[in-house]
Amino acid sequence: MTTENGAAEHILVSQEDGIMTIEFNRPDKKNALTHTMYNTMIDALEQAEAESTVRALCFRGAGTCFTSGNDLKDFLANPPSDEQSPVMRFLHTLIDLKKPIVAVVQGPAIGIGTTMLLHCDIVLATPNAAFQTPFTKLALCPEAGSSFLLPRVVGMTRALSMLLTSQNIDANTAVQWGLVTELIPSILLDTTVQERLAALAALPPEAVRVAKALIRDPLRDATHDAVEQEAVQFMQRLTSDEAAEAMQAFLEKRTPDFSRFG
């Protein structure tokens, strides 16, 4: 079944055989995320946690892109001003989710499209997947707890490279670094994902939740703290002169000029 909730045309929520799938559905906008889409996803996550029939969750994107990150125009019109902002509530809900989370990545995963994967327990990707955290490029800073979690996943020097230089990494590199669990040929993706999800849903659910908790819980409080600390810096960066130049250049499709900043 498909649950229509809020921005149903942009977030498709379906449930079948114990798996709730949350699909980003703005392929014409490279699945860029809006505050309304975050609200819809929060509702879905809360529903999944409450319903015993849901054994696991799966994020994926429609078309040829996982997600290009936050919709810049929507983001600037609705910046995350406090902990009740949709993106902040989404992240904290994601961190606290007790059930296993699977992500299926085809094509680009940019910004939060990459950092949200740090909160997923299994990441399946196709060979054409690509991962980028372009925060400094936009005169911003890391978000979604990535300053805390990414060094623990890929190592300190690799995390610094990704977060400081906005380095784009390909699917093979992402597997080698530990950001992606498994690469799946595009032609086999749907069949293989269905097999992996069915196998996960068939496991004893409480045992799976306990295993996840033992791994995730020691990092949970620190991850919440990182999200909040990043948000403070992020909001300051968002109103900076550097960010104004970066955003204007992005909208004008030109190269930003940071030469006047010291």
pLDDT at 197: 97
What is the value of pTM for the model shown? 0.93
In a domain, 140, yes or no: yes
Q: What is the CATH number of the domain that holds 161?
A: 3.90.226.10
Is residue 105 one of the residues assigned to a domain?
yes
Rounded CA Rg of the chain = 18
Q: Give pLDDT, residue 4.
A: 40
Q: For residue 181, give Cα distances in angstroms to 153, 219, 234.
A: 11, 20, 29
The one-letter amino acid at 155? G
User: How many Cβ atoms from other residues are within 10 Å of residue 189's Cβ?
Assistant: 16
The verdict on residue 122 lying in a domain is yes
User: Tens place of pLDDT for every residue, the chain, 262 residues?
Assistant: 333 444 568 999 999 999 999 999 999 999 999 999 999 999 999 999 999 999 999 999 999 999 999 998 887 787 777 778 999 999 999 999 999 999 999 999 999 999 999 999 999 999 999 999 999 999 999 999 999 999 999 999 999 999 999 989 999 999 999 999 999 999 999 999 999 999 999 999 999 999 999 999 999 999 999 999 999 999 999 889 999 999 888 888 899 999 998 7
Looking at the structure of the chain, the number of domains it has is 1
104 closest CA partner among 116, 122, 131: 122
In a domain, 17, yes or no: yes
Q: Is residue 245 included in any domain, yes or no?
A: no
Taking only the tens place, the pLDDT of each residue in 11-58 is: 999 999 999 999 999 999 999 999 999 999 999 999 999 999 999 999
- Asked if residue 129 belongs to a domain, the reply is yes
Q: What is the pLDDT of residue 248?
A: 87
* pLDDT at residue number 8: 62
Q: Assess if residue 83 is contained within a domain.
A: yes
User: Which residue range is the domain that position 171 belongs to?
Assistant: 2-186
Alpha-carbon gap, residue 259 to 261, rounded angstroms: 6
In a domain, 67, yes or no: yes
